[in-house]
Amino acid sequence: MSRKKEKPQKTEAQIVAQESMIPSIAAKAFRDAFNVALSKGESVLVVRAGQLVKVSSTESVVLRSVETYGTIKSGTRLKVKKNLNREFASLVQV
C-alpha cells in the first residue's frame, strides 16, 4: 500500500488566483536581481525614457537610444536575428 495521500484537484478559481500572482512575483525577482547585481559592483542594462542605460552603483551611462517596437499582443512570437544577438552580447560584456 502506498502511504502517499492523493492531492485534491485545484479548482479553476484557485488556479486563476495563483496565476494572478505571477506578475508581482516576477517583478520582485527582477528587482531583487537588479539590487544584488549592483551590490556586488556589477552593472545592469536598463531602458529609461527610450535610452539604453548602463547602470552601476556609482554611475549611469547612456549607451544609445532604443526605438519602441509597437504594440505586441499576448502570445506573439518574435524572431531575433543572429546579428542582433551578437550586438547585445557585446553590450552585455561592456
pTM, entire model: 0.57
Distance between CA atoms of 64 and 86, rounded to whole angstroms? 16
The whole-number average pLDDT for the span 14-39 is 94
Residues near 55 by beta carbon (within 8 Å), at least 6 away in sequence: 38, 43, 44, 45, 46
Cα distance between residue 15 and residue 66, in whole Å:
37
Say which range, 2-6, 11-15, 51-55, has the weakest mean pLDDT. 2-6
Average pLDDT estimate for 67-94? 68
pLDDT at 66 (0 to 100) = 87
- Domain chopping of the chain, boundaries: 11-41, 43-94
Compute the half-sphere exposure of residue 52: CA atoms within 13 Å on the CB side of its CA: 11
Encode pLDDT of 49-76 as tens digits: 889 999 999 999 999 998 876 788 888 8
What are the pLDDT digits (tens) for 30-52?
Answer: 999 999 999 999 999 999 988 99
pLDDT at 85: 53
